[in-house]
Amino acid sequence: MTTARLEALVWVLIYGGLILVGLGLAVQRRNELLGWSLVGLGAVVALAGAVLVVVRARLPGDKP
């Protein structure tokens, strides 16, 4: 995987996770179980993106 693809994946995971958290909080008013499930899934996805930020920082390559 190239660094450009890794960086794109990082942002997709972080923003996608945050959108899921927000959607889960909105859905909680109608269906509590589904809302909390979306919040949990979104948090895991955003955390995976944050972990990939650390992985990308440790990769050798084009660093300033």
- Entry pTM: 0.86
The domain segmentation of the chain, as residue ranges, is 10-57
Band of residue 10 on the pLDDT scale cut at 50, 70, 90: very high
**φ, ψ for residue 47, nearest 5 deg:** -65, -40
pLDDT value, residue 61: 75
Band of residue 63 on the pLDDT scale cut at 50, 70, 90: low
Band of residue 1 on the pLDDT scale cut at 50, 70, 90: confident
Q: What is the mean pLDDT of residues 23-48?
A: 97
Q: What is the mean pLDDT of residues 22-34?
A: 96
Which residues in 21-52 are b (16+ Cβ under 10 Å) and which e? bebbeebbeeeeeebeebbebbeebbeebeeb
